[in-house]
Chains A and B, each alone.
Chain A
Amino acid sequence: MYKYDQYDQQMVDTRVEEFRDQTARRLAGKISEDQFKPLRLTNGLYLQLHAYMLRVAIPYGTLDSRQMHALADIADRYDRGYGHFTTRQNIQYNWIKLAEAPDLLADLAKVEMHAIQTSGNCIRNISSDHFAGAAADELVDPRPYAELLRQWSSFHPEFSYLPRKFKIAVIASDTDRAAMKLHDIGIQIVERDDALGAAFYVGGGMGRTPMVAPSIRDFVPLDQLVTYSEACLRVYNRYGRRDNKYKARIKILVHELGAEEYARQVEEEFAHLLGQGVEPPLAELERIKTYFADPAFQDASNDTIDRSDPDFALWVDRNTVPHKREGYVSAVISLKPVGGIPGDATARQMHVMAELAKSYSFDELRVMHTQNIVLPHVRKAQLYTLWQTLEAEGMGAPNLDTIEDIIACPGLDYCSLANARSIPVAQKISERFAETGKTAELGELKLKISGCINACGHHHAGHIGILGVDKKGTENYQLLLGGSEAADTSLGKITGPGFSEDGIVDAVEKATDVYLRERSDGERFLDTYRRIGMEPFKEALYG
């Protein structure tokens, strides 16, 4: 994985010292909160419901064991012994003290990490496929391209004050595991005439106006990747709405101009920029690629999995996915125990995951946007030992992509923007389905919950989505059906009037009962919904 060079390290160290000074001045009363707030936000420090919250960037979700150990130590030293992995492949700490934040950032910098670009109207931390470099179906590892864009976007002076925040995802397979078309820019590395290039989708997003990004260009040569990205940003920076926060995201600009007109303007800007020497030399991309070379895989083609333990066999079936190398799999560590808090991990669990990565996965871990952790390269022969440790540490739930594998944002338990709590709903749903034993029967069913319209819990993109709203001071939950963030991206539709906290759990069960009654062979919940439409579900929910 990528290692900082002296410039990266110096940049991060300098920023820590700047922030130390800014914090000292704030605590001494030399600057006001109005002056300090943008400074702390550019360092990932928010003021949330109970305390300061720090969001740490994990570029494209990739970590090594040293970094995961450091995150665990931070949870113990500066927080209350746990952290929350987010849908942006980052981690958040909920109980940070302002006076200690500079020391925390200094500890992060020691392991080549920071909290920059996790807030504010800049290009945010870039996300990618959590199985990158391991997936059997990928064209190439998308992370070198994500890293190139990370370097280009870090502290980019022109794009530090965009009309609104800006999120980029990079993938390199037809199976979209990064919700690519729901980003401001989604990039898919593709092949044409034996050459690699990038397909650009611009103007997607969730939030209060969800949109699926239209295709803007189907092939940008790789030696123009940065230049074309810059052209996309320039047009947005120039014409994006700064007068209205709710209309300021690029999706509104692309929608209002029309994808064709936006693309035309980008082409114009692109033609201009091509002569400006914006693009880094291809040698830089090649340098970056060396950091993402395959680890020293062994010949494991004779590895087999002993399935005699049925609990283990179930976990293998649910939580491991095919790897590009024979004898290996990617193993998903579930942070969704039944009744647990989606995405939360204790410091001890983080230490355990770090050690498992060291022992079984070439020292690598990935954070999934679905709030689980991946060990990308595990030999089949070592899976049983790995699973036994996970089981013992409460991380062995065999529920990947099932109704118990719920995405839930922090909601009103932690977030000052929330209208309703998300986590208790997730807990009750996972408990209900574990109790009724229907989880296995339901198969792939992605359920996502947000505590407000900002949609951090991706509710628009859930096969079943839940949105918390405030109904005259009481929590209320809207139900959505039919969303997807995979290659067949679609936006869920609201079923009708909302439900109470307990009512929404019943409603979800009723919706799944309609599916079980109506499904044809091999259909997932989403497929059945797409075939039969909303009416039978409405009938069951409100009839």
Chain B
Amino acid sequence: MKILTGNDLKSGAVIWWTGHDWSLHVEDAVNVGERADEIARREEAARRVNAPYAIDAELRDGRVRPAHIKDRIRALGPTVRPDLTLKPADPEARHWVI
């Protein structure tokens, strides 16, 4: 599947396209298929996202998982600071990234 990501213009936070809005959580990302460019252009023009781009992802155990480690690190946070990730209390989260 193809999912769309970028950064929130004001905060810089990593965000994912949910089909109608942007979410901090990659689990909310939807398959954008061939529509990535069109959505990216529209959302960027509306200043709801900065530097959007589409990436490959897969559904694993029903959860969206970006294909490349770089985007998995973006999705969770730095592997070396679990306390600063989106799942500070989940010791398994790091395994999802690597």
Binding site for B on A (CB under 8 A): 26-27, 29, 33, 47, 49-52, 80, 95-99, 341, 412-414, 416, 418, 421, 423-424, 427, 473-475
Within 8 Å CB of A412, what residues of B?
69-70, 73
Q: Is the CB of A50 within 8 A of B12?
A: yes
Given known A-B contacts A414-B78, A473-B67, A47 and B51 have beta carbons under 8 A apart? yes
For the complex, give the distance between the alpha carbons of A29 and B79 in Å: 34
Complex Cα distance, B51 from A413, in Å, reads 19
| CB pair A33 B51 closer than 8 Å | yes
Given contacts A51-B13, A341-B81, 12 further A-B contacts (CB under 8 A): A33-B44, A47-B12, A47-B51, A50-B77, A50-B78, A51-B7, A51-B12, A51-B14, A52-B12, A98-B11, A413-B79, A427-B80
Which residues of A lie under 8 Å from residue B84 when comparing CB positions? Answer: 80, 95
The reply on B9 being an interface residue by CB < 8 A is yes
Alpha-carbon gap, A412 to B51, bound state (A): 18
Shortest C-beta distance, B20 to chain A (Å), equals 21
Check B47 against A29 for contact (C-beta < 8 Å).
Answer: yes
Chain B residues near A47 (CB, 8 Å)?
7, 12, 50-51
B74 & A50 in contact (Cβ 8 Å cutoff) = yes
Q: How far is the CB of A427 from chain B (nearest CB, A)?
A: 7
The 3 A-B residue pairs with the shortest CB-CB distance, nearest first, are: A51-B12, A52-B12, A413-B78
CA distance A95 to B8 in the complex (A): 12
- Flag if B11 contacts A27 (CB, 8 Å): no
A424 touches B80 (CB 8 A): yes
Which residues of B in the span 57-97 have a Cβ within 8 Å of any Cβ on A?
A: 67-70, 73-74, 77-81, 84
A427 nearest in chain B by CB position: B80
Distance in angstroms between the alpha carbons of A474 and B12 in the assembled complex: 26
**Which interface class (under 10, 10 to 19, 20 to 34, 35 or more) fits B?**
20 to 34
Indicate if the CB atoms of B80 and A33 lie closer than 8 Å: no
Residues of chain A lying within 8 A (CB to CB) of residue B80: 341, 413, 421, 423-424, 427
Contact residues in B for A473 (Cβ distance below 8 Å): 67-69
A51 vs B24: C-alpha distance when bound (angstroms): 12
Q: How far is the CB of B21 from chain A (nearest CB, A)?
A: 19
Residues of B within 8 A of A33 (CB): 44, 50-51
- Enumerate chain B residues within 8 angstroms of A98, measured Cβ to Cβ: 9-12
| Cross-chain contact B78 with A97 (CB below 8 angstroms) | no
Q: Given contacts A49-B73, A473-B69, is CB(A97)–CB(B79) below 8 Å?
A: no
Please, which residues of chain B bring their CB within 8 A of the CB of A97?
Answer: 10-12
Q: How far is the CA of A390 from the CA of B39 in the complex (A)?
A: 53
What separation, in Å, do the CA atoms of A242 and B38 have in the docked complex?
33
Query: Considering the chains assembled together, what is the distance between the CA atoms of A424 and B13 in angstroms?
Result: 23
Give the Cβ gap from A501 to chain B, nearest Cβ, in Å: 8
Cβ-neighbour of B10 out of A27, A341, A413, A474 (below 8 A) = A27
Cβ of B29 to closest chain A Cβ, rounded Å: 17
Nearest to B67 among chain A residues (CB) is: A473
Give the Cβ gap from B63 to chain A, nearest Cβ, in Å: 19
Could you tell me the distance between the alpha carbons of A401 and B13 in the complex, rounded to whole angstroms?
37
Q: How many angstroms from the CA of A49 to the CA of B70 in the assembled complex?
A: 8
Give complex CA distance A52, B14 in Å.
10
User: Which A residue sits closest to B14, measured CB to CB?
Assistant: A50
Contacts A47-B7, A47-B50 given; does A424 touch B79 at CB 8 Å:
yes
Which of A49, A80, A96 has a CB less than 8 Å from the CB of B74?
A49
Q: What's the Cα separation between A33 and B68 when bound, in Å?
A: 25
Residues of chain A contacted by B69 (CB below 8 angstroms)? 412, 473-475
